[in-house]
Structure 1
């Protein structure tokens, strides 16, 4: 029993109902009823992790999501994330979060991972990091692929939040578990191929508005293409690294400029 996590889910579902969100969920039976598993998801919007936990409730399970450290540093969201046993990720050094994720998997937990690492601005699948495959192989657990579609209409990068009553349809599909027994690169490539196929399948029955910002170019939308989106991600990442370097330099200067010794 996890009363806090269950309460948060209840509150979230009340909010989803107030927003008029219309969920279509399939494949919940593929989430293991017991034992550890990596839940690998695509990433198109900031609210993805709040929606991705819904299918696991069919088997009364909870997902421990790997989320960026900054969320845990926040004085409001931080205590909540820790209470729900989510796993903080420091993008500068992810070794500790990787270790904690493997330990959780070995303890029989479901660990939620976004292999793209960040939101896809093109809404197509980005290249996958190898972390999901590596931790599944090390822990000896399956990878369960999951795709979400429509969540980018609620809140995504570079566009205003739409948290009111929007009646947005959101599709979540859970695929057949993959049991890793090969090299990490092979597992990662298989996972990408499986999730891309699943994503295209759910998109076939979804109504897309021609020219809409949340629709990929492939489907007639105005979202940036993969190359443009990747270039913007690289630019933002470079700015983030430069800012952190400046902050480190400023802290170093501050720590080395203490009060002068007597007589100086």
Structure 2
């Protein structure tokens, strides 16, 4: 069936990024398979992460079907678009159906995009990974594609106003080699391996990032362990528990 909505949406996103003069540094796209199923696994630091993850598949002429919270599909604007692009709604009270739909898509040769932290990380460090991505890859017999994003939090993230100005914000993306998901290995072990690889890619993206904060008021997007003023993971947990 022809993709009538997804390619134009990608074209619109690229036009928007060009208008914003984003400086996108994307490496490792050769690791995206040109055919067959795979589970794309990325860190999650901004609301537009799924768009940037999806861009990495375009050199291979692939489209990524993302698993996203069900409320996005109820929105009057995003809902019809998400359904037309064949993304997969996740109702956290009934996650079995979303899992089954993703598994069916993987077995039919689709790439499924997953943010295993489940929500945006306010500390901009990796949170615990849920095991669903590993279990899907194991059950479908497809590889995991580790990926890391950096800089997307500066455009639009949780608790901060959007920055849609022409501010030349760099975006750094790193895609790693596919990881086999051995069905005989416990899902927890596979999950830990992919998390370690995403962490390595994240650190590589951070090292390659071409700018540093412009002053004390511009350190909010830098993790505390790198000298920034983003909340630490412990502070985020304390705030969430409170």
Map Cα deviations across residues 136-165 of structure 1 (whole Å, 9 max, x no partner): 001110000010000000001111111121
Please state how far the C-alpha of 1:197 moved relative to its aligned partner. Answer: 1.0
Which one has the largest radius of gyration? 1
1:29 deviates by 0.7
Q: Is 1:208 the counterpart of 2:212 in the alignment?
A: yes
After TM superposition, give the deviation of residue 96 of structure 1 in Å. 0.8
User: What residue number does 1:21 align with?
Assistant: 22
User: What secondary structure sits across from 1:40 in the alignment?
Assistant: strand
TM-score norm. by structure 1 comes to 0.87
CA separation in 2, counterparts of 1:233 and 1:121?
11
Partner residue in 2 for 1:60: 61
- Shift of the alpha carbon at 1:234? 4.2
Q: Find out whether 1:191 has 2:194 as its counterpart.
A: yes
Q: Deviations over 1:100-138 (max 9, x none)?
A: 001100000000000100000000000100000010001
Q: Structure 1 CA distance, aligned partners of 2:129 and 2:237?
A: 13
Q: Which runs of 5+ in 2 are unaligned?
A: none
Q: Which residue of 2 aligns with 1:106?
A: 107
Flag the 1:8–1:219 CA change in 2: closer, same or farther, 3 A.
same
Calculate the TM-score normalised by the size of structure 2: 0.94
- Structure 1 CA distance for aligned equivalents of residues 121 and 101 of structure 2: 26
Q: How many aligned positions are there?
A: 235
Matches within 5 A, 1:38-117: 38-117=39-118
Matches of 1:160 and 1:31, distance apart in 2: 33
Q: Is the 8 A contact 1:102 1:135 kept in 2?
A: yes
Change in CA separation of 1:122 and 1:24 when aligned onto 2, cut-off 3 Å: same
Q: Secondary structure at the match of 1:144?
A: strand
Q: What secondary structure is seen at the aligned counterpart in 1 of 2:92?
A: coil
Q: Provide the alpha-carbon RMSD of the alignment.
A: 1.1
Pairing of 1:1-264 with structure 2 (within 5 A): 1-181=2-182, 182-206=185-209, 207-209=211-213, 211=216, 212-235=219-242
Gaps (5+ residues) in structure 1?
A: 236-264
Deviation at 1:76, TM superposition (A): 1.2
1:260 counterpart residue number: none
